[in-house]
Amino acid sequence: MTTLEGGFALLKYIMFAFNLIIFMVGCVLFGIGIWIKYGDVLVLKILEDYSAYLINLGYFCIIAGFMLIVIGFIGCYGAVRESRCLLLVFFLLVSLIFIGEIAVAVVALMFRDLGMAILRDQTLNTLQKKYVFNGSSVISQGWDAIMVHFECCGFDNYTDFEGSLFQETTGLVYPLTCCIILGNPACNGNETSVTLINQQGCFPELFELLHDNSSLVGITAAIITVIELSSIIISLILFCTIEIEEEEG
């Protein structure tokens, strides 16, 4: 085997490996989309007024996942079969997606603050209009679980419950899940001493949770972008090499 043939074979294996990763990522995205769309997702219930946007995200994951599955298959099969047609289709598809991803990333960065503001308003609105202490709804149970787990009270603080559905139905200033020590008789829903209730709102904790997840998503997106860009270059090299071999043969 000549050096050129060895290099060609190596590129084929790399192309196959990259597209196998793309294929698997597509399967994961497709599964996440199905889970968001049809699963009992607690976040969708807590952010009820905002759930339509998250459901749209589910549709996006389904479509993007399906596209990656198809592209990964075309790339793998095209590399193994040394098909110029499939390699060209792969090159064009991935190039278009790569350009689209850059455009989406730019738009997302430009409107990041707006997105966070909308998320904040919708979450606070859900707390004030849907939450009832010890309620049977998923929204109420979700907020109770959040306030107990993160040791926080309300969205910004306990004053978020002023004029809320919770206050209208109970007459209390805050729910008992805001208590520092659950079951403390002195923490009765009206006393707001710093020794009795958690003064910090849940927004910083929720923001940190979203930030951690967004960082993970960002890292994953960066890895996928590198793989896609490498696949574009390799597919073009393979396409040209196969064309040269066919002309010489």
The secondary structure of the chain, three-state, reads CCHHHHHHHHHHHHHHHHHHHHHHHHHHHHHHHHHHHHCCCHHHHHCHHHHHHHHHHHHHHHHHHHHHHHHHHHHHHHHHHCCHHHHHHHHHHHHHHHHHHHHHHHHHHHCHHHHHHHHHHHHHHHHHHHCCCCCCCHHHHHHHHHHHHCCCCCCCCHHHHCCCHHHHHHCCCCCHHHECCCCCCCCCCCCCCCCCECCCCCHHHHHHHHHHHHHHHHHHHHHHHHHHHHHHHHHHHHHHHHHHHHHHC
> In total, how many domains does the chain have?
2
pTM of the predicted model as reported, rounded to 2 decimal places: 0.58
Does 41 map to a domain? Answer: yes
Does 209 map to a domain? Answer: no
Does 244 map to a domain? Answer: yes
| Same structural domain, 13 and 73 | yes
Does 32 map to a domain? Answer: yes
The pLDDT, as a whole number, for residue 42 is 55
| Same structural domain, 186 and 99 | no
Does 105 map to a domain? Answer: yes
The pLDDT, as a whole number, for residue 7 is 77
Domain that holds residue 34: 7-114+222-248
| Same structural domain, 197 and 228 | no
| Same structural domain, 167 and 195 | yes
Does 193 map to a domain? Answer: yes
| Same structural domain, 43 and 105 | yes
The pLDDT, as a whole number, for residue 168 is 92
The pLDDT, as a whole number, for residue 177 is 93
Sorted by sequence, the CB contacts under 8 Å of residue 245 that are 6+ apart come out as none
Q: State the 10-residue block means of pLDDT for the chain, 249 residues long.
A: 68 88 89 75 54 71 89 90 89 89 82 79 87 78 89 93 92 94 92 93 83 74 82 88 73
